[in-house]
Structure 1
Amino acid sequence: MPIILHLDMDSFFASVEQQANPALAGRPVGIIKGEGRSCIIAASKEAKKIGIKTGTSSYEAKKICPGIALVPSDFDKYYSVTKRFIEICSRYSPDLEVFSIDELFLNVTQTQAFFSGVSGICQKIKEDLKREVGEHITCSIGISYNRLLAKLASPINKPNGVFAITPENRDKVLFKAKLSDVCGLGHRLEKKLFSMGITNFKSLREIPIENLKIGVGPFWAKELKKLSCGEDDSFLTRVGEISKAKSVSRTFTLYENTKEVDLIKATLRNLCEEAAFKAREMKMAGRMVGLSVRGELANGERTGDGRHKTVRYFLDKGSDLFEIVWELFLKMKWPGSVRFLGVWMGLLADKKILTLSLFPEEQKKEKLTWAMDKVNKEFGELTVYPAVLLKGKMIKSEVNGFLGDKAYRFAN
């Protein structure tokens, strides 16, 4: 029988900040996206104990605990710890899947005998984390015979605990769990099941599949029946096996609504630079360009729009991407203020199979872009950048918490 571990870092962002700054140790800490942001995106173990959690506003958090430390997020710092976490876990099995910035799966079926069994591996990983990363960095571990149940097991003894789901205790654990506790079953589907009188995995298992098909369709009926029995036949996706990205993107939420055209323009230009850089790092170029905008109308009503354009040529430079993005924005004739901006580039292709430009001007741009990338990788992001970015506040890249850009992060 396979042995799968799901390792989930405890209160990860806040724990990393506590490790980096001893003055925060033992204190309630709330991580906010940045200075001026009003929503807590992660909370420390101490904050969670008093009712402060992800999604709590900073105003509410201060009402609950006036002394809470609100710390702007630093995703580069968190990702550096993630990479050390991955390196530690990879010592115990090469069959490893990075699931998000603070969790991974490890298949130890073939390696557990070398480390005094599964319990030996769990103990060694925890010891390695404490010794090499820090005493405030802990992880909870779920053990089972497939990914689904291993992930369901990991939060049961949080923080810093271990829990195993076996064929013997599987139903007991499943029937206690909420439907949305299982990865892949979201709140929308949960709401649909509730409307059918299905409130837990026991009632989901008992309902005839024909009745289930009427409510959710044949595909989901079959999948939900498998979930209700704790069945999962998926394999781990190793870092080297991550499929190539089909698109690259970057989004940004402004600190306040704005109608200032220069700010909107500068922000979009900045986002285009990052999206194009990601494509170049993966040695890819694209020919579909998209833009998403959200904001408010004069009456306070929220609104949004998204458009895209496909061109005949491939592009991988921020300036070329921005030219199309700005064209899309102008065509929107945006009616109100802007709060959210997102750009993306799709229909990516490997640059190795693309025809090189014969035009001297394009070749010059290619060499200049290559030189800028080399300097920025050597001395830090935005060491060198297009002068047009001086018109707005610099927006540095950040790691997505769900590591949605794994194809880019692990490209090299």
Structure 2
Amino acid sequence: MEQYTKPTVLFVDMNSFFASCEQQVNFYLRDRPVAVCVYTGRQGCVIAPSIEAKKLGVRLGMRLDEATQSCPGLVPVEINAQRYREFHGAIIEVLRTFTPDVFPKSIDEVVVDLTRCQLMYKDVGEVARQIKSDIRTKVGDWLRCSIGIAPNAFLAKLGSGLQKPDGLVMITPETIDDVLKDLSLTDLPGIGQRMANRLQAQGILTPLDLRYALPERLRVVCNSIIGWHWHLRLNFGGEVELETVEYKSMQAMRTVSAGQRQSPEQLDELLQSLCLSLERRMIKQDVFCQDVTFYCRYHDGRNYCDEIKLPEPGQDSMELYTLIRQRFGRFQDVDRCEPILSCSIRSMSVSVSRFMPAQLVPFSLFENNTRKNTLRKAVYDVKAKFGSDKIMRATELRDHPVFRTVMGFGSIKDLDDDQNPF
């Protein structure tokens, strides 16, 4: 196996990004515990605590009333997705002044690959320090990042999480064992508790055990190629999956406020908006879905999930919406339960998966959908060229759009999505 041992890959992890952006634009929030929330009512959920709030025990996912008990001085701030997109874009511009090989992995995480620029940069650590300085001077003086440096992105990401906030850690063949010996399996990126349990059941108890396990054994234990990938990453066998991968699924999710839960009409509009959001993304990627999943959570801890396999590949939002509503009705009739979209609902999501390229979608035996599919794509072409409000479907017309996007830290594929709330 060829060795790739030079630490030329940087993983830039912005610290408490959403909250830091709010502190950047509002001087009054600086040095105070801040919690970015979808809604700031007492039942609101903390999606991004500031560095100061984390030190006082506020955690991601806390309910706001619980968080304020833990931290009485907590300042709740409603999410501003467009603001974070703009800061993300400005940070990417700074990073691209160092190399064109910049790979955003999420809105607050970016891989910077200096492998092709080794003649330009003799000291990669100095480059990392310059990146920190340029982000502060060119984007925002309150923004901090932790940077990991390693021969591949996996180890660089691991390094970025070892010193927070504002850390800088380099992992090399000479230092990797010292780094791994104090960690648990779940400290490694991508290893959750279930995978850790599987590894430990086969005698792979620590990250060092994982590093020195034979690749053939890892393939068997993991029952997939991921075991081979971990062997490559931990033993400097080259880069794995640095490029942003194709969509495997798309999800649209919203958290619902107490006032909105009282209106069946608004809940129905919310479901339509989720389906419209997914329609827009599928059209942008020129794909149709074959699987649809609806999921919602309630305040008492219950949840409802319905997985639907479409009889034919789908893309139209109202067809997805109608199908989900029909399934609701059948479930409620059979189980004689309260409405799925009830006043106790806390959040809902719709996801689509098992994609098929639009060019490969077969003609329907019962209906000619070609003209409808072409028209749908033409509508979004017009939106992209002239603005999302210049041509709209009837279902997109709302007097008071009230639903806020739950903007996650995972995928960034839709950061440049048009700003139509539906």
Q: TM-score, normalised by structure 2?
A: 0.79
Moved more, 322-331 or 6-15: 322-331
Matched with 1:386 is 394
CA distance in 1, matches of 2:26, 2:131: 23
> Pick from 333, 343, 359: which aligns with 2:350?
343
Are residues 1:11 and 2:13 paired? no
Distance in 2 between residues matched to 1:236 and 1:21, nearest whole Å: 38
The CA distance in 2 between the partners of 1:301 and 1:54, in whole Å, is 17
Secondary structure at the aligned position of 2:257 is classed as strand
1:271 aligns with 2:274: yes
Gap change, CA 1:277 and 1:121, over 3 Å in 2: same
1:292 to 291, 294, 303: 294
Question: Secondary structure of the residue that 1:322 maps to in structure 2?
Answer: helix
TM-superposed deviation, 1:342: 2.5
SS in 1 for 2:281: helix
Out of 35, 40, 57, the position equivalent to 1:35 is 40
Query: 8 Å contact 2:16–2:49 — kept in the other structure?
Result: yes
- Looking at structure 1, the residues matched to 158 and 106 of structure 2 have their Cα atoms a distance apart, in angstroms, of 15
Counterpart in the other structure of 1:234: 239
1:162 pairs, out of 156, 168, 181, with 168
Work out the number of aligned pairs and report it.
401
Cα distance in 2 for partners of 1:43, 1:67 equals 13
In the alignment, residue 239 of structure 2 is paired with which amino acid?
A: S
Deviation at 1:191, TM superposition (A): 3.8
Superposed displacement of residue 26, structure 1: 1.4
How far off is 1:277 after superposition?
1.1
| Alignment check: 8 A CA contact 1:249 1:345 kept | yes
| 2:38–2:406 CA contact under 8 A, matched in 1 | no
Gaps of 5+ in 1: none
Supply the AA of the counterpart residue of 1:155.
G
Q: Is 1:141 matched up with 2:141? A: no
**Aligned counterpart, 2:327:** 328
In the TM superposition, 1:95-174 aligns within 5 A as 95-174=101-180
Distance between the aligned counterparts of 1:185 and 1:21, measured in 2? 37
Distance 1:371 1:352 in 2: 18
Q: Give CA deviations for 1:332-362 in whole Å, capped at 9, x if unaligned.
A: 32734543433234454444566999x9998
User: How far did residue 110 of structure 1 move?
Assistant: 2.0
Whole-Å Cα distance in 2 between the matches of residues 46 and 91 of structure 1?
Answer: 31
CA 1:380–1:228 in structure 2 vs 1: closer, same or farther (change >3 Å)? closer
Deviation at 1:11, TM superposition (A): 1.2
Q: Report SS of the residue matched to 1:113.
A: coil
Question: Given that residues 289 and 346 in structure 1 are in contact (C-alpha distance below 8 angstroms), is that contact kept between their aligned partners in structure 2?
Answer: yes
TM-score with structure 1 length normalisation?
Answer: 0.80
Q: CA deviation at 1:7?
A: 0.8
Letter in 1 for 2:328: F
Moved more, 347-356 or 316-325: 347-356
How far apart are residue 111 of structure 1 and its match?
0.8
Is 1:64 aligned with 2:63? no
Q: CA deviation at 1:267?
A: 1.8
Alpha-carbon shift at residue 197 of structure 1 (Å): 7.2
Give distance in 2, aligned partners of 1:168 and 1:289.
47
CA 1:135–1:150: 2 relative to 1, 3 Å: same
| Two-structure CA RMSD over aligned residues (Å) | 4.0
Identity between Structure 1 and Structure 2 (%): 25
Q: Is the 8 A contact 1:267 1:392 kept in 2?
A: no
Contact 2:185 2:207 in 1 (8 A): yes
Alignment CA distance shift 1:112-1:383 (3 Å):
farther
Contact 2:294 2:350 in 1 (8 A): yes
1:90 maps to 2:96 = yes
